[in-house]
Amino acid sequence: MYFDPIYMILIVAALVLSGGAAFLVKMKFKSGEKVAISSGYTGAQVAKAILQSCGISDVSVHEHKGFLSDHYNPLNKTLNLSPEVYNGRSAASAGVAAHEVGHAIQHAQNYFPMWIRSTIVPVANIGSNLGPLIIIVGIMLGAGAEVNSGIGHFVAAIGVALFAMATAFTLVTVPVEFDASARAKRQLESLSIVKPGPEANTVSSVLTAAGLTYVAAAISSVMMLLYWAYRAGLIGGRRND
């Protein structure tokens, strides 16, 4: 259990997926910073223009420290943009700023997948941190006996269920992020902030790369969920440790 080669392979695979996706985003963003937009808008101006066009007046735009630390906070309705995006006048900064506004639009319109994601955040955090530990405890309680019976099975099943909520969070995040990107591109086009051609293509490239980071996270989480379900004896037949 403690030196399971399958577990190590999955960890390495997850690191490769997440690391590769993160590298792609940085590469695309750096490349996109070289493509100026003809409108000359900064990321902050892009965000404010889209918010105004959508009739959203209760969301404020702020500069936030950290490279690509951009995010929308639905709790206090703030749009937090990294310095590169807030002050940037490139296709990359316009795309990222518009994407975050896309989340604000989702919030204002009660976009159902976003509501689901927000609802399961607390239990997803618990599942991500404590789920594997509870599973291991269940397996240890079943040591020398069939894990899929008795108290060991029950405890391990609880851990798997908790981790499944963390996996559900990563899965529902994928459509939320891609929908925000789709909204961003429509708004940039309709407001003529970004012109068709190299500018729009660069925006699409940056946002697609960003979306792939969430796909990588979802794939990694599903792989780990299947592994823990297998170790707990919930799939793949009975296991003896």
Annotated catalytic residue: which of 100, 146, 177, 199? Answer: 100
Q: Which of 111, 115, 103 is nearest to 181 (CA)?
A: 103
d(CA 124, CA 120) in angstroms, rounded, equals 6
Query: Residues 6 or more apart from 44 whose CB is under 8 A from it?
Result: 61, 63, 81, 86, 87, 97
d(CA 6, CA 232) in angstroms, rounded, equals 14
- Give yes or no for a contact between 135 and 156, defined as CB atoms under 8 angstroms apart: yes
Catalytic-residue membership of 100: yes
d(CA 34, CA 206) in angstroms, rounded, equals 12
Catalytic residues: 100
